[in-house]
Amino acid sequence: MSAAKGIAILGSTGSIGRSTLDVVARHPDRFQVVALTAGAQWQVLAEQCRQFRPRVAVLAEPTHAGELAAALASAGLATEVLAGPDGLVAAATLAGADVVMAAIVGAAGLAPTLAAARAGRRLLLANKEALVMSGRLLLDAVAASGAELLPIDSEHNAIFQCLPPHRPGVVAPAVTRIWLTASGGPFLRMAPSELHGVTPDQACAHPRWVMGRKISVDSATLMNKGLELIEAQLLFGVPSGGVEVVIHPESIVHSLVAYADGSTLAQLGNPDMRTPIAHALAWPERMPSGVESLDMLRLGTLRFEAPDRERFPCLRLAEAAARAGGTAATVLNAANEVAVASFLAGRLNFTAIAAVIERVLERLPAGTAAALEDVMEADGAARRLATTLVDGFGGRVS
């Protein structure tokens, strides 16, 4: 058995980070945690450090860094505590971090994800927003450094498993269509007229997956699936229109790939993120994840249906951004982050999320994304405009 691989987990206190630690703990001979990062949950991070004893721990929000350092010192740990964006980049490029799990939600994960790609690491991409924002910039960094890029989103990991070996961003031979499955979230059967008054707690009550609040809201609006559509086009080199979304309430078939000979390959599994995490950690091998295998005799009916774009206008907006190209996806993601945060804070109603995003896209036409500066400029402009619109909406759709 070769030496254990060092792993840095960016976003270790979130749902993906916790699932990654669960898988890693099952294989102490294969993996050694060398870095953990969190946003502001310093007490959770401290407990994780006590269990996994990393060399570095990072708080993106530096307010409680001193308390984290004191807690680790009192536990007799030599873990170095860093803070802020520079600390995240340091964790992503730490010597000995052979594998980097990029699981920081939203735009905050872009810089450390890009740094890990440039450092030539095995990059496990759970932060879809980093690729949606940066587009080819991240893929070009992977190609230039020789990094390995493995998708962690259950849908993209499923597609990866159904494709022959190929380079990221290059379409696999004879692929004619990719189908992204979506559970439909908690409002699949709710009348569109009733969506206006739903609460954050209702939106976060996903029927199949246990996720953080932001991504849960994205699932409820189907923006999550729109971002995944953009990510799939980039990851797998599929032209606009080559990726379609299909509603699959059971969340057993995670995605499908159609080929020119009429074959369609699908990856099936119980809805548990430890499966794609274990797949990417062990690739090209396989290892136990802690997830129970499917009982094919108990599955019953697997249903598929087209998404309702009246109920889920965010999907329509994401599809339009994918067609527009350039910085349109950057603008889409930034506006969505502002609108979702405002909804979770009680400042915006649920249906106004899509309304804010649509207005931002209308007022900020797509530009070129030739450099990271272009991306960040578009991101900032979209956030400023979305914030202004939220203030003007006052919780109303107008």
Q: Which pLDDT band, with edges at 50, 70 and 90, does 395 fall under?
A: very low
Mean pLDDT for all residues in the chain: 92
Q: What share of the chain is helix, strand, coil (3-state, %, to 5)?
A: 50, 15, 35
Q: Which of 281, 384, 347 is nearest to 28 (CA)?
A: 281
pLDDT at 255 over 90: yes
21 to each of 18, 130, 199, 378, how far by Cα in Å? 5, 22, 31, 35
**Looking at per-residue confidence, does 173 or 150 come out higher?**
150
pLDDT at 154 over 80: yes
3-class SS at 247? strand
Lowest mean pLDDT among 167-176, 188-197, 330-339: 167-176
Give the H or E element holding residue 378: helix 372-393
Q: Which of 147, 317, 384, 222 is nearest to 138 (CA)?
A: 147
**Looking at per-residue confidence, does 102 or 396 come out higher?**
102
Alpha carbon distance 7, 97 (integer Å):
5
Looking at residue 261, its pLDDT comes to: 95
Give the H or E element holding residue 320: helix 313-324
Lowest mean pLDDT among 18-32, 286-300, 348-362, 381-395: 381-395
DSSP string, 9-53: EETTTSHHHHHHHHHHHT-TTTEEEEEEEESS-HHHHHHHHHHH-
- The DSSP output letter for 280 is H
267 forms beta bridges with 255
β-pair type (243-247, 253-259): unpaired
What whole-number percentage of the chain has pLDDT above 90?
Answer: 77
pLDDT at 110 over 50: yes
Mean pLDDT within 127-153: 91
Q: φ and ψ at 125, to 5 degrees?
A: -95, 100
Looking at residue 97, its pLDDT comes to: 97
Q: φ and ψ at 359, to 5 degrees?
A: -65, -40
Alpha carbon distance 273, 14 (integer Å):
12
Looking at residue 2, its pLDDT comes to: 62
Mean pLDDT within 340-363: 95
Looking at residue 212, its pLDDT comes to: 80
Tokens of 369: 């994304």
Tokens of 93: 């490029």
Looking at residue 370, its pLDDT comes to: 83
Mean pLDDT within 41-67: 96
Q: Give all domains of the chain, ordered by start, each with its CATH number.
A: 5-152 (3.40.50.720), 154-309 (no CATH), 325-389 (1.10.1740.10)
What whole-number percentage of the chain has pLDDT above 70?
Answer: 98
Q: Is residue 177 within 8 Å of residue 245, measured between CB atoms? A: no
Alpha carbon distance 353, 341 (integer Å):
10
pLDDT at 170 over 50: yes
pLDDT at 210 over 80: no
Looking at residue 230, its pLDDT comes to: 94
Position 142, amino acid:
V
Q: Which pLDDT band, with edges at 50, 70 and 90, does 205 fall under?
A: confident
Mean pLDDT within 112-132: 94
359 to each of 32, 51, 201, 334, 392, how far by Cα in Å? 47, 47, 26, 13, 12
Looking at residue 392, its pLDDT comes to: 81
3-class SS at 361? helix
300 to each of 281, 294, 295, 323, how far by Cα in Å? 31, 12, 10, 37
Looking at residue 238, its pLDDT comes to: 86
Mean pLDDT within 149-177: 88
122 forms beta bridges with 99, 148
